[in-house]
Chains A and B, each alone.
Chain A
Amino acid sequence: MAAINRDDVAHLARLAHIEMSAEELDRMAGELAVIVDAVKSVSEAAGDDVPATSHPIPLSNVFREDVVGHTFTAEQALSGAPDSDENRFKVPAILDEA
């Protein structure tokens, strides 16, 4: 498996929407390389015949009756928002033309 480098971290930080300074990228790349190295043995632990487990105690088809239950009022839903207007979350421009 490939080691993780500074360019990888910069790319991943963009994907994860976390701005990082040059210093942070350097430090993070070093720390993550150590961690990735420590966990890489996992890829050799199990053969192709071993099925994956996504949940420890699987339950299937967990549904409820299709009736309206408890819902928040718009006021409650917006109560923690940094900005709102006319019962909606208000955000800065979505497209790069602000």
Chain B
Amino acid sequence: MTDTNSNQLIRFSAAQLAEKLAAREITSVEVVQAHLDRIAAVDGGDRGVHAFLHVNAEEALAVAAEVDAIRAAGGAAAEELHELAGVPIAVKDLIVTVGQPTTAGSKILEGWHSPYDATVVQKLRAAKMPILGKTNLDEFAMGSSTEHSAYGPTRNPWDLDRIPGGSGGGSAAAVAAFEAPLALGTDTGGSIRQPGAVTGTVGVKPTYGSVSRYGAIAMASSLDQIGPVSRTVLDSALLHQVIGGHDPFDSTSLPDPLGDLVAAARLGNVDGMKIGIVKELHGEGYQAGVENRFNESLELLKQAGAEIVEVSCPNFKYALGAYYLIMPSEASSNLAKFDGVRYGLRVLPEEPPLTIERVMGATRAAGFGDEVKRRIILGTYALSAGYYDAYYGSAQKVRTLIQRDFEAAFAKADVLISPTAPTTAFKLGEKLNDPLAMYLNDVATIPANMAGVPGLSLPGGLADEDGLPVGIQLLAPAREDARLYRVGAVLESLLEAKWGGPLLDRAPELAASPVVEPVETLVDAQEAK
């Protein structure tokens, strides 16, 4: 139909695809097929990226064909199409979908199909965005490397021997490997932003309550937030605008909308803005190459007219500890529902008696992986009589102190800035047997979840010592997500001018699998694992 080849189609941003689809220069079927071909070429096999747990080819192509038909017919129906209609997207497999399995990366939900769609998925369907499939994650979103997935790790497209971050490593890797222009993630302590940082992509944790959590399988309900994953700041704003808004099915959903995030991303102006460096979120414990790229971003923002100020958040040093009490406590309660009765796996004990209690014990022993078990036990401990005040109660007080630190910081600065993660991507297996070392990856991202404020990570360049992506994090006061897009878009354009193009242009070419498997085969192979 057109002479745009599929290698070009997969490299366009969502905003570019939207424009070309609206102008009828390309069709959604071509775009979806190009991404399905890319998935088939680079996702499977021993050395594949393995970003996807399920590929939804048939439905995605059907939605694409519907959008193409509406556009071709013209008239009111074509006018009413959403701006992102026909632009494909991948969905983290923690978010429930009708017509596709949802596993949460766990054996306990293997083969389970949700009877309902998450609110964000309903919104994607209403916008007629073809859903390419479900992306890999650490089991129940518990991890920082995607190695805790029961279905095998995802690999970082920058270096296939390294982790793509976690828990949303699948979504970030899919976008970084040009398998999808957009993806949905969830962020409880950094699970959107840290994978964004280590894969050279953009990820946003919106203000708590501004995107409905209905249909996101809960880990820690007071911390969890669904958000966008993309390759550009504008694309995240476009997706955030689609998924945000009040939802009566989520009692923590904010009643008021956030304003025009896309306009903020297009505005791009930091002149006169105050940007605060958080003293406690860089320096000691941060890799030298990460610090260098961070300082370079500060310099660029200064040149663009921003005033850089230093702020101190002394209670952030307690954030990681408090998080590892609150999150497991909430998770231990939320995961009690996986008991072999209502959905998923049921394992019968080998010896009698066959009572429900023993069935639950056997089911949860077989169905949950080590990290999930660790967190359930830790949460059960923190909530148990005699320890509740010292652990869970104290952690909730720390939460108040962190909120106060943010309030004081935002009295001095419009947005805060820090590295997103202390290091670049580490090797697969490197931290797998050291849970505490793994937890430290989220030291800079956790404070935002504790206070409910929004955060954005964007690529800040490559670390000198290893040539791997570094993430820059921006934080704004609650409900001021627009500021993240405004500042993020400026920094992105300054950095890209310096690099001479997007950072991902410098990622190594991924070798296609020796045999290009048809998508159906790939799906079967992954489901059989």
Q: Do A and B come from one complex?
A: yes
- Residue in B closest to A57 when the chains form the complex, CB atoms: B452
Indicate if the CB atoms of B377 and A13 lie closer than 8 Å. yes
- Is A95 in contact with chain B by the CB < 8 A criterion? yes
- Is A22 in contact with chain B by the CB < 8 A criterion? no
For B529, the chain A residues whose CB sits under 8 A away are none
State A54–B346 Cα separation when bound (angstroms).
34
Q: Which of B264-279 contact A (CB under 8 A)?
A: none
Among A19, A31, A92, the one with the most B-chain Cβ atoms within 10 Å of its Cβ is A92
State A69–B368 Cα separation when bound (angstroms).
34
**Closest CB-CB distance, B396 to chain A, in whole Å?**
4
State A45–B315 Cα separation when bound (angstroms).
8
State A18–B252 Cα separation when bound (angstroms).
31
- Answer whether A41 and B318 are a contact pair too, CB < 8 Å, given A19-B362, A35-B324, A53-B399: yes
Indicate if the CB atoms of B339 and A17 lie closer than 8 Å. yes
Indicate if the CB atoms of B364 and A82 lie closer than 8 Å. no
- Residue in A closest to B339 when the chains form the complex, CB atoms: A17
Q: Is the interface of B mostly helix, strand, loop or mixed?
A: helix
Q: Which of B390-417 contact A (CB under 8 A)?
A: 390-391, 393-401, 403
Indicate if the CB atoms of B356 and A94 lie closer than 8 Å. yes
Indicate if the CB atoms of B343 and A50 lie closer than 8 Å. no
- Is B376 in contact with chain A by the CB < 8 A criterion? yes
State A50–B395 Cα separation when bound (angstroms).
11
- Is B435 in contact with chain A by the CB < 8 A criterion? yes
Partner of B373, one of A28, A59, A94: A28
- Is B305 in contact with chain A by the CB < 8 A criterion? no
Indicate if the CB atoms of A12 and B342 lie closer than 8 Å. no
- Is B341 in contact with chain A by the CB < 8 A criterion? yes
- Is A38 in contact with chain B by the CB < 8 A criterion? yes
Indicate if the CB atoms of A52 and B365 lie closer than 8 Å. no
Indicate if the CB atoms of B398 and A59 lie closer than 8 Å. no
Indicate if the CB atoms of A80 and B436 lie closer than 8 Å. no
For A91, the chain B residues whose CB sits under 8 A away are 341, 356, 359
Partner of A80, one of B112, B324, B348, B439: B112
- Answer whether A18 and B373 are a contact pair too, CB < 8 Å, given A50-B400, A52-B397, A89-B341: yes
Query: Can you identify 25 A-B contacts, CB atoms within 8 angstroms?
Result: A1-B387, A12-B381, A16-B336, A16-B380, A32-B374, A32-B378, A32-B381, A42-B322, A43-B390, A45-B401, A55-B222, A56-B222, A56-B223, A56-B399, A56-B451, A57-B452, A59-B251, A80-B115, A81-B341, A81-B343, A82-B340, A92-B348, A92-B359, A96-B357, A98-B352
Having A18-B368, A28-B374, A82-B343, one finds 11 other A-B pairs with CB under 8 Å, namely A14-B361, A15-B384, A18-B361, A46-B394, A52-B396, A76-B115, A82-B346, A92-B356, A93-B355, A98-B352, A98-B354
